[in-house]
Chain A
Amino acid sequence: MFFRMIFGTLIRQWKKMLMIAFTIALGASLATAMLSVMLDVGDKVNQELKTYGANITVVPKENSVLNSLYEVEDGGSTGAYLREDELGKIKTIFWAFNIVDYAPFVNTKAKLDDGTEITAVGTWFNHHMELPTGEQLDAGITSLRSWWEVTDGKWIDEQSIENRNVAMVGSALAEKLGVRMCDEIHLTGSVSDLTVKVAGIIDAGGDEDNKIFMPLDTAQTLSGLDGKVDSVEVSALTTPDNELAVKAAKDPKSLTIAQYELWYCTAYASSICYQIQEVMTDAVASPVRQVADSEGAILEKTQLLMVLITILSLIGAALGICNLVTASVMERSAEMGLMKAIGAQNSSVSGLVLTEIIITAVFGGIAGFFAGYGFAQIIGHTVFGSAINMRPAVIPIVAVLVLIVTLAGCIPAIRMLLRLSPCEVLHGK
């Protein structure tokens, strides 16, 4: 009989129940959408921040002290280099998945025919790699220097060019030399000379405008540095630093084993640097503060912002559901009074109301969950152009939230129902 009454209500009062279910669904979808977006916003914004370029640089150990000075003073040939054949290993570290992009650089001085000395940089443009894990990666400055503007011609596509004697010229240099796309430049390096064809002009808005960029092996040939690179720039998704990370960055050995594990297994810039040093011979990897720090700050702020907005909308959704449940249960006071008049106990009246509402809430909640998932995907695709990853934690949170809120919404109404005296209700007060 109990269930018959409940189904009676659900079916015959379907309009009202539908409205309650609808509101619960709205609340649940809001909660689902906001929670999913909130939990995923870190990764998404992190991806976006990659446009700022590398946040880790790797240089040879002996060289890390002298590198810049020598470059300033005499143009290049120092003793220490990183090994080109080890570059692939960067993508095999514990946090390999977080390494989104990287590019090696080899700097060399070259003379033009008129005797002017210019800096030639060998690097990857869109170097294709087959990783031991079976993954594939296109890495290089085409993506790492996303803010560079190619004003004439286009980026060198390493996969399609046959002749590797191509180069991209910085805009300032190009202006000085008066070269344009398809022009040829003859360069004399320290060991050999070659003629490169200009594939494009780069407007970088910085020092790079005075340099010439060419594929890694071309520059190596020019300078006789086969298989060697000066430095590597790595762009990695990192977690903002906390105290532990700061402590570890100074000296990983100062950590306890538990701390070390935690640090090693968290994508801090410092732990990724540490792991890169583990796989590359005689390398020093250090975070680029300008990028790493700012990323950390922005990520943190964005996440906090989303958390607060989520809390506000959750409160909004909760109060909305509460309100409607209260309003609609109160509306049925006459019916409840009648039931009490014909002998229903307080407990059975409240049981009936609660069961009805909960059944409605379950349906509403499920519908809302899927709607919210949809909203999250719309947000993901519109803003970031990629799907929002649904965290499994969202489901229990939303479920518990909907139940608690619905029950909380019933409380004032049920208290009122219990206070009802049947005769008052039936006399139309």
Chain B
Amino acid sequence: MNKRKMFFRMITASLLRRRSRMIVALLSIAIGATILSGLVTIYYDVPRQMGAQFRNYGANMIFTPTDGSFTSADISQGKNCIDQKDIIGVTPYRYESLRMREQPVMAAGTDMAEAKLTSPYWSVEGEYPSAEGQILLGATLSEQFRLGTGDKVEIGFTPSADDNDETVVDSTKEFTVSGILETGGPEEDYVYMILSDLEELTGVSGKIDLAELSISAKSDKLKTYADKINSSVPTIRASLVKRVTESETTVLTKLQALVLLVTVVVLALTMICVATTMTAVVAERRREIGLRKAIGASNSSIIKEFMGEGMLLGAVGGIIGSVLGYIFAQQVSINVFSSSISFMPLLVPITILVSVAVTGISCLLPIRSAASIEPALVLKGE
């Protein structure tokens, strides 16, 4: 048997046979490591998760035509400039003035599924239009025309007078109100319909006035996206919705600072807790240290053994803590954001290293002080 084998045999014996004491220490380290890995995971994931929450505010980038209008091909060209996983929704809008019961109304043709994504704050009583022939009616209009969900209404389009073309006649189509839209904003004055319906009514297709984009990115990244689109797609002018992007940056930065600070405070206090526990655990073993010295152990070999033990404990605690921390962060994420958290592999070695370092340092002081005392004193007295 060589020395190293004996070294590990001693350490494992100490850890396994002094089970209750070691569990106390291990528990303490594991808690520290759990808090470390859990909070750091949350800290890194908060911007992503919270960013998703901030997408509730709706579009943070809009495409407007540089000249007149653009087409959906232009939109997809613009979309390609953006990292696909950052895109939450892209909603095209085309606005036309239509007639409803012989009164002028503003109508918007759009893609309902995308509108749901870019404007999550829309509150719809009833259903979103799911098929052609259905409309989403703004609350103001619904009140004005006394139309409710399920009612039918005829909507017509008169080509603009400038065309002055005798052959063009009014086109009309009957629509069913599938839902009433409430937003507390100007959207309540519009009629929303599926884009193809509007194209059918007007007889003009492939024309889009505006597109709303909801992109999960910080404002500086959004700016680079906008610049890229502006330079590569000539028909589109991409601009940021300042109100949303600026505020998001402000609030998100503060939130992250909050979590960071909380993490730092909690971690510092927890690490001190771990350190005091380790100190107590080591201090208990002064007599044993004295004995080892008496039978010929040098200070350095004692420090080596006890540190080895402490660090092994730290490593095991770190591993347990990484797992528990991940579980904790995952639970937090599921409960708070109803989405799973991204696993950060790098955090595992970091957690283990930190817990090894913390236990090592917190063992070092009491071991050094115990190792420096005369063995005779420990063995006789106390």
Whether A and B touch directly in their complex, counting CB atoms under 8 A apart, is answered as: yes
Interface residues of chain A, those whose CB is within 8 Å of chain B, are 19, 22-23, 26-27, 29-30, 33-34, 37, 41, 45, 48-49, 51-53, 56-57, 64-66, 68-69, 72-73, 145-149, 203-206, 286-294, 297-298, 301-302, 304-306, 308-309, 312-313, 315-317, 319-321, 323-324, 326-328, 330-331, 375, 378-379, 382-384
Given that A65-B144, A301-B50, A304-B336 are known contacts, is A146 also in contact with B328, CB under 8 Å in the complex? no
Proximity bits, B61-88, A CB within 8 Å = 1, else 0: 0000000000000000000000000000
Contact yes or no, B184 A48, CB < 8 A: no
Given that A29-B269, A313-B266, A383-B257 are known contacts, is A308 also in contact with B251, CB under 8 Å in the complex? no
Proximity bits, B223-261, A CB within 8 Å = 1, else 0: 000000000000000011111111100110011011101
Task: Give the residues from 260 to 276 in chain B that come closer than 8 angstroms, CB to CB, to chain A.
Answer: 261-262, 265-266, 269-270, 272-274, 276
- Nearest to B186 among chain A residues (CB) is A68
Contact yes or no, A320 B274, CB < 8 A: yes
Residues of A near B24 (CB, < 8 A) are 323, 326-327
Contact yes or no, A68 B189, CB < 8 A: yes
CA A246 to CA B205, docked complex, whole Å: 40
Contact yes or no, B27 A319, CB < 8 A: yes
- Is B106 interfacial (CB 8 A cutoff)? yes
Count residues of B near A (Cβ-Cβ below 8 Å).
76
- Among A72, A204, A294, residue most surrounded by chain B Cβ atoms (within 10 Å): A294
Residues of A near B335 (CB, < 8 A) are 304, 308
CA A158 to CA B361, docked complex, whole Å: 61
Partner of B57, one of A30, A290, A304: A290
CA A290 to CA B21, docked complex, whole Å: 56
Given that A319-B28, A327-B21, A384-B254 are known contacts, is A206 also in contact with B121, CB under 8 Å in the complex? no
CA A19 to CA B243, docked complex, whole Å: 52
Contact yes or no, B35 A312, CB < 8 A: yes
- Is B359 interfacial (CB 8 A cutoff)? no
Of B3-11, B126-134, B280-288, B312-320, the one touching chain A: B280-288
CA A309 to CA B49, docked complex, whole Å: 15
- Is B192 interfacial (CB 8 A cutoff)? no
Main secondary structure, interface of A, reads: helix
Of B38-46, B151-159, B303-311, B340-348, the one touching chain A: B38-46
Contact yes or no, A383 B280, CB < 8 A: no
Contact yes or no, B242 A147, CB < 8 A: yes
Partner of A68, one of B56, B140, B283: B140
Contact yes or no, A289 B184, CB < 8 A: yes
Contact yes or no, B266 A294, CB < 8 A: no
- Is B182 interfacial (CB 8 A cutoff)? yes
CA A301 to CA B332, docked complex, whole Å: 10
Residues of A near B272 (CB, < 8 A) are 23, 26
Partner of A320, one of B57, B144, B270: B270
- Give the distance to chain A from B228, nearest Cβ to Cβ, in Å: 18
Q: Top 3 closest A-B pairs, CB basis?
A: A205-B242, A320-B273, A294-B56
Given that A205-B243, A309-B266 are known contacts, is A289 also in contact with B53, CB under 8 Å in the complex? no
Contact yes or no, B337 A301, CB < 8 A: yes
CA A206 to CA B350, docked complex, whole Å: 46
Contact yes or no, A315 B336, CB < 8 A: no
Residues of A near B274 (CB, < 8 A) are 320
- Nearest to A320 among chain B residues (CB) is B273
Residues of A near B250 (CB, < 8 A) are 48, 51
- Is B58 interfacial (CB 8 A cutoff)? yes
CA A64 to CA B184, docked complex, whole Å: 11
Contact yes or no, B251 A49, CB < 8 A: yes
Contact yes or no, B336 A301, CB < 8 A: yes
Residues of A near B120 (CB, < 8 A) are 293
Task: Give the residues from 142 to 162 in chain B that come closer than 8 angstroms, CB to CB, to chain A.
Answer: 143-144
CA A64 to CA B281, docked complex, whole Å: 73
Contact yes or no, B242 A305, CB < 8 A: no
Residues of B near A316 (CB, < 8 A) are 31-32, 34-35, 266, 270, 273
Given that A65-B143, A205-B240, A309-B266 are known contacts, is A290 also in contact with B280, CB under 8 Å in the complex? no
- Is B298 interfacial (CB 8 A cutoff)? no
Given that A203-B242, A327-B281 are known contacts, is A298 also in contact with B56, CB under 8 Å in the complex? yes
Contact yes or no, B121 A19, CB < 8 A: no
- Give the distance to chain A from B103, nearest Cβ to Cβ, in Å: 9
Partner of B273, one of A27, A145, A294: A27
CB pairs A–B below 8 angstroms (30 shown)? A23-B273, A26-B273, A29-B269, A41-B258, A51-B250, A52-B57, A52-B243, A68-B186, A68-B188, A145-B243, A149-B242, A204-B243, A205-B242, A288-B183, A289-B123, A290-B58, A294-B56, A304-B335, A308-B332, A308-B335, A309-B262, A309-B332, A312-B38, A313-B266, A313-B270, A319-B28, A324-B276, A326-B24, A327-B281, A379-B262
Given that A286-B184, A301-B337 are known contacts, is A147 also in contact with B270, CB under 8 Å in the complex? no
CA A206 to CA B50, docked complex, whole Å: 24
Residues of B near A304 (CB, < 8 A) are 335-336
Contact yes or no, B266 A324, CB < 8 A: no
- Is B349 interfacial (CB 8 A cutoff)? no
CA A379 to CA B54, docked complex, whole Å: 23
Task: Give the residues from 165 to 189 in chain B that come closer than 8 angstroms, CB to CB, to chain A.
Answer: 182-186, 188-189
CA A51 to CA B46, docked complex, whole Å: 20
Residues of B near A37 (CB, < 8 A) are 258, 262
Given that A26-B273, A316-B270, A320-B274 are known contacts, is A34 also in contact with B262, CB under 8 Å in the complex? yes
- Give the distance to chain B from A18, nearest Cβ to Cβ, in Å: 10
Residues of B near A204 (CB, < 8 A) are 242-243
CA A22 to CA B185, docked complex, whole Å: 56
- Give the distance to chain B from A307, nearest Cβ to Cβ, in Å: 9
Residues of A near B188 (CB, < 8 A) are 68
Given that A45-B255, A287-B184, A290-B183 are known contacts, is A305 also in contact with B332, CB under 8 Å in the complex? yes
